[in-house]
Amino acid sequence: MADSSTVPEHHPALRFFRQSASTVVSLIITFLGLLAVTFVIARIVPTDPVMAILGERATAEQIATERTKLGLDDPMWMQFGIYVNDVFHGDLGTSIRTREPVLKEVGHYFPATLELSTLGILIGIVIGVPAGVLSATKPGSLLDQAVRLIGLMGYSMPVFWLGLMGLLLFYGHLGWVGGPGRLDSTYDMMLDFKVPAVTHMILIDTALAGEWDMFRNAIFHIILPASILGYLSMAYISRMTRSFMLNELGQEYITTARVKGMPERRVVWVHAMRNVAVPLITVIALSYASLLEGAVLTETIFAWPGLGRYITDALMINDMPAVLGGTVVVGAVYIGINMVSDFLYRLADPRAR
Amino acid sequence: MSSLTAWLMDPNPKSRLQSRAAQTWLSWLRFRRNPLAMIGLMISLALIFMSVFAPVLAPHDPIAQSLADRLQPPLTPGHWMGTDDFGRDIWSRILFGSRITLYIVLLVILTAPVVGLVIGTVAGYFGGWVDAVLMRITDIFLAFPKLILALALVAVLGPGMVNAVLAIALTSWPPYARVARAETLTVRNSDYIAATRLQGASSARLIWGHVMPMCLPSVIIRVTLDMAGVILTAAGLGFLGLGVQPPLPEWGLMISAGRKFLFEQWWVATMPGLAIFIVSLGFNLLGDGLRDVLDPRSAK
């Protein structure tokens, strides 16, 4: 639109850059909006933050100094400005329970969530994409119906109940997997001595330390919660893959490829799949982001020391700085994933540039 | 009956009512051919039946404790689903719990879609900066992970059924706003809108009487598909102790109570979960079927 630029208006690289810049701007606005919402939530808390710090027996004088210290006497817009400034400098407040900076604690808990949901999304992709493709190649078949029904069941189950039932069956009755927690208790006690916490992700840390017994035990524990999250994302991924693939298979270039005598397998998995992969990026990103959320309830069931459990534990004792700090982090990651998928989409699809 | 069918199938309807009834009848015939959708409808009707007749159907009081009967396994005479740790009949509690579930779902679907509809139609109709501001706000709420936002809200407002409903409604209006805006954009430049405007209709009247009705079908489909999600979120909040409070027989709360003896008395946590699963599966099947019938774009 700007005609003053020396580079030609329609230069693809410039257009790509301009669109990316507008994505970043809208990302910042969205993030400020997120902070505004958590700020408002924090202001309507019925418990007085001053009382929470000083306790019931504080004198009026102490309360007044504390109020000034916390900036509660400043005008609202100034308080919001200070809040935003703090967040951008990595200060998410101090947990009431542990008296530790929230950001530091989140740094310890978040990798566990990331590990769990990454494994979950991998399981979801590995099963969901082929299932969606196969049901699109034979719409209306028994397989198609089965995939659809299994998907619908995934949409309809409360994730915490599915987790409990999984524990009951695979841990309680069959003994195929480990119970709640990231390791058996015997390994758990040795964890701090034997395995340096490099990434705070149990599979990577134990592998780095060369503790293969522990690594196997960790897999034994992570496999059930990860499969449950994987099932949830599989439901969505297979459904979307099916509809994208059905759409592609109706295109003329597919007919051309078939008429040329190309093997059907190559038509589906190479020609059509290339075009299905592009919108699928967005779908996978969306379901990855929603797994972070599904992890909240899953983590409480499996005693998984992740961000979800951090937030729910903090909720139980009304530790609002921890709750809101955790919320900001989850929201930021959520927005970040959406932005990354936006970039990838534009990189992969020349039409979108 | 045959004369009614003849009236419905009349190729030359004599009144507006008759043609409308005939359209509905045709949609129903299409809907009826989809067995999964019919199952969904049956489940939804069964839920309504259960909640209306809970006092008649329930063999026991859902709240009164009877410690002598605690943790009886399923198929015990008088307690075919077993009893919980306070000796309360689980079947009776599930029956009464269906009222809470239905109540929460109704409250949410009577508020969130209305808010979304108003915001979406206003944004789409006026366009310009109104649209930009409203849609930016919508995007911000969409960018939030729903459950986390609901958790934070309930944490602040305090646990309880009304606050849970409020939190769920506050997190579920943005998709409706998007749907309504998209529909509004397609109709706002139609001739009939221009004609009504020339007759002197105000913007409020145009939006209320002429734009909103056009958005209703898409919004209704979305509502049916969302009902399962509302049930799951409400159950999740109940499970975390942030929704409906004991001793009320909310299904998510019942699962969390059964968690303590999952391995010894499996039925306490299993039965209410089955209830949630069946009901949300029913709503999902119904929504899927309705979409196939009402939404011409999804027809294959």
- Predicted complex ipTM: 0.85
Tell me the shortest Cα–Cα distance from B297 to chain A, in angstroms.
13
Alpha helices in A250-319 (DSSP H): 252-259, 264-266, 273-301, 307-316
Instruction: Please state the rounded mean pLDDT for residues B188-214.
Output: 88
The b/e string for B114-150 (b: 16+ C-beta within 10 A; e otherwise) is ebbbbbbbbbbbeeeeebeebbebbbbbbbbbbbbbb
What is the spatial distance between Cα A70 and Cα A282, in angstroms, rounded to a whole number?
42
- pLDDT value at residue A237: 93
Asked whether the whole model's pTM tops 0.90, one would answer no
Rounded to whole angstroms, what are the CA distances from B142 to A277, A282, B139, B177? 24, 15, 5, 10
Whether B143 sits inside 8 A of A338 (CB atoms) is yes
Q: Are B104 and B283 in contact (CB under 8 A)?
A: no
Region B48-60: what's the mean pLDDT? 89
Chain B, nearest residue to A291 by Cα? B145
Residue whose structure tokens are 């939006």: B207
B297 confidence band (pLDDT: 50, 70, 90): low
Which one of A22, A45, A156 would you mutate to disrupt binding with B, by most B Cβ within 10 Å of its Cβ? A156
Beta-carbon separation of B239 and A320 below 8 A: no
Q: Sign (positive/negative) of CA torsion A210, A213, A218, A224? A: positive
pLDDT at residue A316 above 90? no
Beta bridge partners of B76: B79
What pLDDT sits at residue A3? 46
Q: What is the pLDDT of residue B157?
A: 81
Least confident interval from A343-352, B89-98, B99-108, B275-284? A343-352
Instruction: Identify the pLDDT of residue B154.
Output: 84
What separation in angstroms does the CA of A307 have from each of A116, A254, B152, B272? 11, 46, 14, 27
Query: Mean pLDDT across the stretch B235-262?
Result: 88
pLDDT, average across residues A71-81: 77
- Interface probe for B, chosen from A29, A145, A161 (most Cβ of B below 10 Å), is A161
pLDDT of residue A216: 87
Tell me if B239 and A338 make a contact (CB, 8 A cut-off).
Answer: no
Q: Looking at chain A, which residue has its C-alpha nearest residue B167?
A: A41
Residue B229 lies in a domain: yes
* Count of domains observed in chain B: 1
Residue B279 covered by a domain: yes
Q: Do B239 and A160 touch (CB under 8 A)?
A: yes
Which runs of consecutive H residues, i.e. helices, occur in A73-211? Answer: 76-88, 102-137, 142-156, 159-166, 185-194, 202-209
A164 → closest Cβ in B143, B242, B259: B259
Residue B83: φ, ψ to 5°: -125, 165
Better pLDDT: A319 or A223: A223
A156, B236: Cβ pair inside 8 Å? no
- CA of B153, closest CA in chain A: separation in Å? 7
Q: Which residue of B has its CA nearest to A314?
A: B155
pLDDT at B127: 86
Which CATH number covers residue B132? 1.10.3720.10
Q: How far apart are CA A289 and CA A282, in angstroms?
A: 11
Share above pLDDT 90 across residues of chain A, in percent, rounded to a whole number: 14
- Is the model's pLDDT at A36 over the cut of 60? yes
What is the C-alpha to C-alpha distance for residues B213 and B193, in angstroms, rounded to an integer?
A: 13
Distance CA B280, CA B101 (A): 11
Ramachandran angles phi, psi of A163, nearest 5° = -60, -45
CA–CA distances in Å: residue B189 to residues A52, B89, B197, B210: 56, 59, 11, 12
Instruction: Return the pLDDT at B277.
Output: 95
* Angle ∠(B32,B33,B36) on CA atoms, nearest 5: 85
Give the one of A156, A172, A320 whose C-beta lies nearest to B280's C-beta.
A156
- Cross-chain residue pair A293–B276, CB shorter than 8 Å: no
Is the previous residue joined to B174 through a cis bond, with omega within 30 degrees of 0?
no
Contacts of A347 (CB under 8 A, 6+ apart): none
Tell the residue number behind the tokens 């310009």, with chain if given. Answer: B128
Tell me the nearest-neighbour CA distance from B175 into chain A, angstroms: 15
Distance (Å, rounded) from C-alpha A155 to C-alpha B228? 8
Tell me, what amino acid is at A260?
Answer: K
A100 φ, ψ (degrees, to nearest 5): -105, 155
Q: DSSP code of B89?
A: B
CB atoms within 10 A of CB A261: 6
Joined tokens for residue B109: 């679907």
Looking at residue A348, its pLDDT comes to 77
Neighboring chain B residues of A42 at a CB cutoff of 8 Å: 156
What the block records as the tokens of B88 is 């309360």
Q: Hey, are the CB atoms on B148 and A331 less than 8 Å from each other?
A: yes
Dist. CA B85–CA B70, nearest whole Å: 5
Helices B251-258 and A159-166: crossing angle in degrees, nearest 10, is 30
- Interface touch A331/B140, C-beta < 8 Å: no
Distance CA A236, CA A289 (A): 13
Task: Tell me what the mean pLDDT of segment B122-126 comes to.
Answer: 91
**Backbone torsion region of residue A7, taken as left when φ is above 0, otherwise alpha when ψ lies between -120 and 50, otherwise beta:** beta
pLDDT confidence of B120, banded at 50, 70, 90? very high
**Do the Cβ atoms of B144 and A311 come within 8 Å?**
no
Contacts for A131 with CB less than 8 Å, ≥ 6 apart:
A147, A234, A238, A241
Q: Domain range spanning residue B262?
A: 40-53+78-294
- Tokens 């307690």 belong to which residue? B79
pLDDT mean over A269-296: 86
The reply to whether residue B147 touches residue A297, judged by beta carbons under 8 angstroms, is yes
**What are the chain B neighbours of A290 within 8 Å (beta carbons)?**
145
Rg (CA), chain B: 23
How much is the average pLDDT of B55-70?
A: 83
The nearest alpha carbon in chain B to A247 belongs to: B300
pLDDT of residue B52: 92
Return the top range by mean pLDDT from A4-18, B103-117, B184-198. Answer: B103-117
- For A99, list phi and psi in degrees, rounded to 5: 60, 20
Find out whether B46 and B53 touch, Cβ atoms under 8 Å.
no
- Percent of chain A predicted with pLDDT > 70: 92
DSSP summary character for residue B64: -
Closest CA to A320 of A26, A49, A7: A49
Whether residue B89 is predicted with pLDDT greater than 50 in this model: the reply is: yes
In angstroms, the CA B275 to CA B90 distance is 11
pLDDT band at residue B143 under the 50/70/90 scheme: confident
> Which of B152, B236, B255 lies at the smallest CB-CB distance from A41?
B152
For A10, list phi and psi in degrees, rounded to 5.
-95, 15
Residues of A in contact with B137 (CB under 8 A): 33
Spacing of C-alpha B284 from chain mean position: 10
**B37 vs A contacts (CB less than 8 Å):** none
Residues in B closer than 8 angstroms to A326, CB to CB, are 148
Q: Directed axis angle between helix A212-249 and helix A102-137, to 10°?
A: 50
Does the distance separating the beta carbons of B155 and A318 come in below 8 Å?
yes
Q: What is the pLDDT of residue A1?
A: 42
> A33 vs B143: CB contact, 8 Å cut-off?
yes
What is the C-alpha R_g of chain A?
Answer: 25
pLDDT beyond 50 at A2: no
Tell me how close the Cα of B273 comes to any Cα of chain A, in angstroms.
6
Neighbours of A61 (CB within 10 A): 8
Enumerate domains of chain A plus CATH numbers: 12-88 (no CATH), 103-352 (1.10.3720.10)
Asked whether residue B130 is assigned to any structural domain, the reply reads: yes
What is the Cα–Cα distance from B215 to B177, expressed in whole angstroms? Answer: 10
**In which residue are the tokens 């027989």 written?**
B249
Position B300 pLDDT exceeds 50: no
- A52 has a pLDDT exceeding 80: no
pLDDT of B296 > 80? The answer is: no
Distance CA A12, CA B115 (A): 41
List pLDDT tens digits, range A8-32: 556 777 777 877 787 788 888 888 8
Q: Which two tokens stand for residue B42?
A: 């049956």
Nearest residue of B to residue A34, measured between CA atoms: B140
Which range among A4-13, A112-121, B73-82 has the greatest average pLDDT? A112-121
Q: In whole angstroms, give the CA distance from residue A168 to residue A175.
A: 9
Q: Per residue in B206-218, pLDDT tens?
A: 888 888 888 888 8
Handedness of CA A290, A296, A297, A299 (dihedral sign): positive
Looking at beta carbons, which residues of chain A come within 8 Å of B97? none
Confidence category of residue B299, pLDDT binned at 50, 70, 90:
very low
* Nearest residue in B to A321, CA atom: B152
Which residues of chain A does B153 touch, with a Cβ-Cβ cutoff of 8 Å? Answer: 41
Instruction: Label residue A71 left, alpha or beta by phi (over 0 means left) and psi (-120 to 50 means alpha).
Output: left
Among candidates A36, A139, A293 on the partner chain, residue whose Cβ is nearest the Cβ of B148: A293
Look at residue B207 and tell me if it is in a domain: yes
Chain B residues with CB inside 8 Å of A168's CB? Answer: 262-263, 266, 270
Query: pLDDT by residue (tens digit) across B18-32?
Result: 888 888 888 888 888
Each residue's pLDDT tens digit, A192-248: 777 777 788 888 888 888 888 888 888 889 999 999 999 989 988 998 999 899 888
For helices A273-301 and A159-166, angle between their N-to-C axes, nearest 10 degrees: 70
- Do the chains contact at A37 and B158, CB–CB below 8 Å? no
Whether B73 maps to a domain, the answer reads no
